[in-house]
Structure 1
Amino acid sequence: MSGYPWRALDLRVRRRVDSLMAGDHEGLRLGVGTEREELARYQPGDDVRRIDWNITARAGEPHVWRPRADNRLDTQVLVDMTPSMAFGTVADEKAELAARIVAALGLLTDAPGNTLGMATFGPDGVRWYRPERARLAASRAARTLTFGGARSGAGSPTLAGALAAFGTRRGGPGLRVVVSDFLEPNGANEAPFDWQVPLRRLAARHDVVAVEILDPRELDLPNVGAVTLVDPESGRQRQVWTSDAGLRRRYREAAAAHRSAVAAAIAASGADHLRASTAGDWVRDLAKFLRERQRTMRTTRGRGRR
């Protein structure tokens, strides 16, 4: 991660979003653990150290608490490294921002037993990295997820194809993160998108977060006169007169409509949605997203226990 030392990333993330994600995943079954899940009458063989003396005194008979199982969190991340990610008009390219977010996720899910695996798709096809302890995987992501592939040319797997392959990987329920700009090589900007079905299937089995990477120039054309635009996926070129106010307005409206369509498609799939821009404070955006996610999960759990 050129120009962004690993230690600096670690300090910045932990200072502002320390441990917001690690506590999100609670056990789904009773078993050996630490958090109290339910009270029950004492049965021969129960651990006497788990007797709740307050309840026992009120009920007049021994009661013990049974703990929630401490589940290990299995995180798998799919990262878009197609040529469209090699674009950036502010401080970073989109691929560099994606690398930092993946590294931050590794730091935030770091806890005993937690692992993080990674897959990338781009000009070299789909590449798989074996799961490691979350913090070690974060360090690897910081080192390896710089954009080293071709900056133009066709041949990369589509997001739909990569998601389908990602969904077939073995592993129990866990956290799955998809990091992409969600731009289709064929230019499709209206739903249904090809990636919707595999994303919905993934969300049916796992807790899924879709991280959408943006750059401001993809949303609004500047008034800079004549420019030549190049499609990084196909290599096609077109000259555009950006001083045309009507053209800039139509471009802005089309980009906004596409972003809305992507947001609606992600929501319909059952995945959570985080947007991060090369022009914004991505750590602040990540912190806000995780806080809102925690509130939603607490509300959902509270309703489920009534």
Structure 2
Amino acid sequence: MPLAPDESARAEAVLGRLQLLVTRKLDGLLQGDYAGLLPGPGSEAGESREYRPGDDVRRMDWPVTARTTQPHVRRTVADRELETWLAVDLSASLDFGTARWLKRDLVIAASTAIAHLTVRGGNRIGAVVGTGSGVPEKGGSASWWRRKAATAPDPVAGPVVRLPARPGRKEAQGLLRAIARTRIRPGRADLGELIDMLNRPPRRRGVAVVISDFLAPVEGWARPVRKLAVRHDVLAIEVVDPRELELPDVGVLTLADPETGALHEVQTSDPRLRQRYAEAAGEQRAAIARSLRAAGAAHLRLRTDTDWLLDMVRFVAAQRHARTRGTTR
């Protein structure tokens, strides 16, 4: 089922504003020798320099180390033609927001920024976009699912769409338009399977970007991220809403699980409940960060209540500074 005309017009308007904003703010960030958002190591051998804490020991230059008796690493020149793949999670939990943005809007914004930063110079960009299965799980509210089913897409369309990697700004704009027009489906999405699709078929070394709230169980997606990082430079963009970190004191609050439809009443005026909620949310986010760090992925957290573009600019600047200091993690 295609988007309604008003929803399609809104998606086009939001995408147009985002592209203008990104162009104004991010132009000039890629001046220099790097072709993409992450200054990856490339494959062409360059000069050697002394080892610094945090350098990849796999790039040790043993002949120079032996001659100088000081550990050296071999620099490499970043590949000029870059292939970037996005794993875009648009599961039902992303259709939520209590601040300046919906989480799904932030997903589209991040995709727009990455496309702008990586599509130059003949670079290619593709994506796999995942949403719910369209099948409600047990325990969901019947009336809630009837309302969702009325706006759900054709179930035969499938929960995952692959958009092939192509060069050029026009193709990148078409890819972003397809992401923006994706309708979120009810049911749980398999984030691990979505990430694993970036490994099939095997591709030459490039950049892989995973955009999600990572609320799926860590054990379901941690191994695919580690596997992806063996061959590619991985960037994980975590989308967070402040209400997922702490509850406000607003009395009795009825909450609906966007993926199962289950309803829960919560007494938010209880300070102990709010404290337990904040502690559990903090532990969950810490576990996500640990898993991404252990996988060797760069980690960027974007919040719906802050300036996401400023956060991204700071992240890119920090990555470049870290590369000159010898580490990007």
- Fold shared by both chains (TM-score > 0.5): yes
Q: 1:114 maps to what in 2? A: 123
Matches within 5 A, 1:40-189: 71-123=80-132, 124-133=158-167, 135-146=169-180, 148-150=182-184, 152-154=186-188, 156=189, 158-184=190-216, 188=217
Alignment check: 8 A CA contact 1:106 1:134 kept:
no
2:44 paired residue among 21, 29, 43: 29
In the TM superposition, what is the alpha-carbon distance from 1:214 to its structure 2 partner? Answer: 0.6
Matches within 5 A, 1:193-272: 193-272=219-298
> Bigger radius of gyration, 1 or 2?
1
2:307 paired residue among 257, 281, 291: 281
The sequence identity of aligned pairs, in percent, is 35
Alignment check: 8 A CA contact 2:253 2:267 kept:
yes
Specify the code of the residue in structure 1 equivalent to 2:231. R
Task: Label 1:87 to 1:245 Cα distance change in 2 as closer, same or farther (>3 A).
Answer: same
How many corresponding residue pairs? 261
Q: Any gaps of 5 or more consecutive residues in structure 2?
A: 1-9, 49-75, 133-157
User: Aligned to 1:194, what secondary structure does the other structure show?
Assistant: helix
User: Aligned to 1:2, what secondary structure does the other structure show?
Assistant: helix
**TM-score (norm: length of structure 1):** 0.77
1:229-282 deviation per Cα after TM superposition (whole angstroms, max 9, x unaligned): 111111111111111111111101111111111011100000000000111101
In the TM superposition, what is the alpha-carbon distance from 1:137 to its structure 2 partner? Answer: 4.4
Specify the code of the residue in structure 2 equivalent to 1:28. S
Specify the code of the residue in structure 2 equivalent to 1:207. D
Alignment check: 8 A CA contact 1:83 1:232 kept:
yes
1:60-109 deviation per Cα after TM superposition (whole angstroms, max 9, x unaligned): xxxxxxx9685301000000011001111123211111011101111111
Alignment check: 8 A CA contact 2:208 2:234 kept:
yes
Q: Any gaps of 5 or more consecutive residues in structure 1?
A: 31-36, 40-66
Alignment check: 8 A CA contact 1:25 1:71 kept:
no
Alignment check: 8 A CA contact 2:244 2:281 kept:
yes
Alignment check: 8 A CA contact 1:6 1:139 kept:
no
Specify the code of the residue in structure 2 equivalent to 1:229. L
Task: Label 1:21 to 1:82 Cα distance change in 2 as closer, same or farther (>3 A).
Answer: farther
Alignment check: 8 A CA contact 2:198 2:208 kept:
no
User: Aligned to 1:90, what secondary structure does the other structure show?
Assistant: coil
Specify the code of the residue in structure 1 equivalent to 2:113. A
* Greater helix content: 2
Task: Label 1:68 to 1:78 Cα distance change in 2 as closer, same or farther (>3 A).
Answer: closer
- In structure 1, C-alpha distance between the alignment counterparts of 2:187 and 2:254, rounded to whole Å: 17
User: Aligned to 1:220, what secondary structure does the other structure show?
Assistant: coil
Specify the code of the residue in structure 1 equivalent to 2:296. G
- In structure 2, C-alpha distance between the alignment counterparts of 1:92 and 1:4, rounded to whole Å: 15
Task: Label 1:295 to 1:227 Cα distance change in 2 as closer, same or farther (>3 A).
Answer: same
**TM-score (norm: length of structure 2):** 0.72
Alignment check: 8 A CA contact 1:109 1:134 kept:
no
- In structure 2, C-alpha distance between the alignment counterparts of 1:161 and 1:7, rounded to whole Å: 31
- Superposition CA RMSD, Å: 2.5
Alignment check: 8 A CA contact 2:12 2:177 kept:
no
Between stretches 118-127 and 243-252, larger displacement belongs to 118-127
- In structure 2, C-alpha distance between the alignment counterparts of 1:278 and 1:114, rounded to whole Å: 30
Alignment check: 8 A CA contact 2:99 2:305 kept:
yes
